[in-house]
Structures are given as structure tokens and as C-alpha cells.
Amino acid sequence: MLPTARLNKLGQSLWLDDITRDLLDSGTLATFIETWSVTGLTSNPTIFDHAITHSASYDREIIRLLDSGLRGEDLFFELAIQDLRRAADLFLPIHRRTASVDGWVSLEVSPLLAYDTKGTVAAAEALLAKAARPNLFIKIPGTREGLPAIEEAIFRGVPVNVTLLFSPDHYLAASEAYMRGLERRIDAGLSPDVRSVASLFISRWDRAAAEALPDHLRNGLGIAIGQRAYNVFRDQLDTDRWQRLESHGARAQRLLFASTGTKDPAISDVLYVNGLAAPNTVNTMPQATLKATADHGGAGRALVRDSAKSAASLGMFENAGIDIAALAQTLQADGAAAFVASWQELLQAIDAKSKVLS
């Protein structure tokens, strides 16, 4: 049995953190689903920027959309939704088989809305309606301004992938927003079965803390953050508050491990896959990490639930001088800024192509 299949059997969903028109046209995504147990897909502005900038596959459609009068963001979202509809259709049998637990694809609202609550909610509803697929998550950042947008979107029935979470506290804040949205739905006589995942970014911790840590702790902080967040996630599901929601028909907001590719050739290319194998979670990974996992991933045992141990493990990094809360805020702000930069580059690339092709 391939390591990817073992992870799937363990109860962890493997999602591809990538989408291109070439990936769809070539049948590669369908092959990943069939052979490597891929059960979902995520996207972000950086991924689309690379896909559109480095491929001619979109050129003919860009010309058609230009002729129809679309420009800028509107043109981009039309391209993105076309791709994500096709991907969503590939995953729809999984979505149905798992009673909508799995088989999702994700589309992010404009990163320019990261600190705009009302604008985020409006964009989330509009994108979901435009895509017209039951297995589409709308990605909303878990920033301070994003949290009330997450609550409101959930209340309005929009499935949400909460992105740009970096710490257990960030996860807890996202979980609270999710539960408030569900509670409001119950109070209004609506079904609380609105799905969500909470995306915790892993590898950026190790890159950010590398120079501040002694050798024996380097490349261990990301795993420690992920393991602690997993224990917090499991503890949340045991609370009376969540049990009441579940009794009304709510389903868990699954923890998703994001940014699980490694860029340091000195460490294992499946470090974050092997260290964060856990049931009822998701690991979304780039193609290189997926291929490495299928080839030589070693995960076969589930992450042990031990809140005291995970807290003590994270405490070692705090004792070494890492201010977890402060660094988490820095990473979140930097992540939001990076997505804005990618977004602007993406729109500039589309504009440049539009001028050449028109």
C-alpha cells in the first residue's frame, strides 16, 4: 500500500495545494485522485499567478473574456472559477461518498479584503453563487477583521476555508467564529451543517525561527505548533458547547495543515507529512511533496493525542526565546502582505497579457 493510501486509511485527507489548466487538461489531477488518494484541492493568489504567468493555456480564454468586456479582477475570477469548477466536478464523487466531509476545492477572496469585514462577506457570497458548486470552500483569512466575516459567512451558509492561521490561539479564534456562526443558524431555525476547515501554516515557523534557535531545536517548531494545535482541536470537540452543536447536526471544522512543503534540502522532504499524520485532519501539499510522500513517506501511525506533552514540547521553544504569540502575529501579517503582493503581480500579469493578446 502506498504511503498516501495509508494516510487516507488513517483518516487524513490529502489535498493538492496547486491548480493549473494544464493539470486539468492533461488528466494529471484525475491521475492523482486515482493513484495517490488525493481527495481535495486548495489554491491561492500565488498559485494562480504562477499558473497564468508561466503558461499559454489561458491565452485563448483571456482573449475571449477581453472581447466580452472583462478586465482585471473580474477576468481573473472568471478564469479561476472555470478551473475550480472542473476540479470540483472531479472531486464530486468523493464529496458525495463522504457525505460532504471531503472532496472540496478552495477559492480565495481578494487578498485586498483581508482587513475589510463587510467586503469579504459580500465577495464570499458572490463567488460561491458564481461558481455554483456544492463542494467549493471560500477562503477567508483569520485576521482580526476576518473573524467576524467568517462568522457572518457561516451564518449565511457559505462553506469557509479559514486561511492564514499560524498558532493554536489563531485556530481557537477561528473555531470560535465558526461556532458562533453555527449557533446563530440554530437560533434562526437553520441547519448548522455548514462545512469549514481551519488552515494552519506550518513550514514558515521553521524558516522564521531558524537563526534564533539552537541546532537541536531547528526545524522542529513547525511540527510542535501543528501537534499543539491538533490537541487543541481535539479538546474543542470534547467541550459541552461543541457537543450541543453536534447534537443539532453540526459537523467538525477540520484542522488543515498547510504550507507543508520543505525548501531546505538538509531536511526530509516529507518532514511535515510524517510528523502531522492525524485522523479527521487535512494535509494540503504542493506537487513535489505529494510525489515525495507517495514515493517514500513513512507515516503509518496516528499523531498521539496528549495535551500535556504537546504543551511541554512547544514550551521548549518558548524557553529558547521564541515569543510564540508575537511571531504568530508577524507571520500572519507577513502572509497577508505576501498574498497582496502576489495578487498585484497576478493582476499585472493579466493586464500585460491582455495588452499583448488584444
Cα within 13 Å of Cα(194), Cβ side? 26
Task: Please say if the pLDDT value at position 301 is more than 80.
Answer: no
139 is catalytic: yes
Instruction: Please state the length of the chain.
Output: 358
Give the Cα separation of 356 and 358 in Å (integer). 6
- Give the confidence band of 299 by pLDDT, cuts at 50, 70, 90: low
Burial of 63 (0-12, 13-18, 19+ CB in 10 A): middle
Which three-class secondary structure state does DSSP give residue 162?
A: strand
Q: In the numeric block, which cell numbers belong to residue 73?
A: 479582477
Pairing of strands 281-285, 254-258: parallel
User: Of 112, 108, 105, 181, which Cα lies nearest the Cα of 138?
Assistant: 108
351 neighbors 72 (Cβ within 8 angstroms): yes
Q: What is the pLDDT of residue 55?
A: 85
pLDDT tens digits, 314-344:
999 999 999 999 999 999 999 999 999 999 9
Which three-class secondary structure state does DSSP give residue 161?
A: strand
Sign of CA dihedral 146, 151, 155, 160: positive
The pTM score is 0.96
CATH number at residue 289: 3.20.20.70
Give the Cα separation of 169 and 173 in Å (integer). 6
Catalytic one among 130, 139, 353, 355?
A: 139
Task: Please say if the pLDDT value at position 351 is more than 90.
Answer: no
Contacts of 215 (CB under 8 A, 6+ apart): none
Q: What is the DSSP letter of 304?
A: P
The domain containing residue 280 runs over which residues?
A: 3-357
- Mean pLDDT within 266-279: 95
Q: What is the pLDDT of residue 300?
A: 61
Give the Cα separation of 349 and 345 in Å (integer). 6
Residue with cell 473573524: 147
Give the Cα separation of 246 and 305 in Å (integer). 21
- Mean pLDDT within 43-63: 89
Amino acid identity of residue 281, one-letter, is T
SS (H, E, C) 210-252: HHHCCHHHCCCHHHHHHHHHHHHHHHHHCCHHHHHHHHCCCCC
Q: What is the pLDDT of residue 129?
A: 98
pLDDT tens digits, 101-143:
999 999 999 999 988 999 999 999 999 999 999 999 999 999 9
Number of domains in the chain: 1
